[in-house]
Amino acid sequence: MTEVAVVIAGALLVLVVGDLLFKKFYGVEEKADERHVTETEDGVGIALWRHTPEGVDDDEKAPVLLVHGISVGHRNMNFDGKNGVAQYLAERGYDCWCVD
């Protein structure tokens, strides 16, 4: 195995273990108003988590797309009811979509 492959394998291991520890310690529920999942031709799954504002007409909903960086997932923006960026924006009338 080359040095590059070892570094990549190590980084992936850190990401997987980090995600499992995050779930264990924070216990964040996977919550959204809607969840849409599709698979690309090469087998990669893509999910959209939607948070819709309450009491806002469809014509007045401004869409916001929240996209995470390479080392985090949708939970970074879709944390929980009081600490999530997506929930915060939805409470203020934005139609939020988190990509994962």
Two structure tokens written together for 83: 């600490």
For the residues of 12-54, what is the DSSP string, one character each?
A: HHHHHHHHHHHHHHH------SEEEEEE-TTS-EEEEEEEPPT
Q: Is the dihedral of CA 47, 52, 58, 59 positive or negative?
A: negative
pLDDT tens digit sequence for 60-84 = 788 999 888 777 766 667 666 667 8
pTM metric for this prediction: 0.63
pLDDT tens digit sequence for 12-50 = 777 777 666 666 666 666 678 888 999 999 998 888 889
Higher pLDDT, 52 or 71: 52
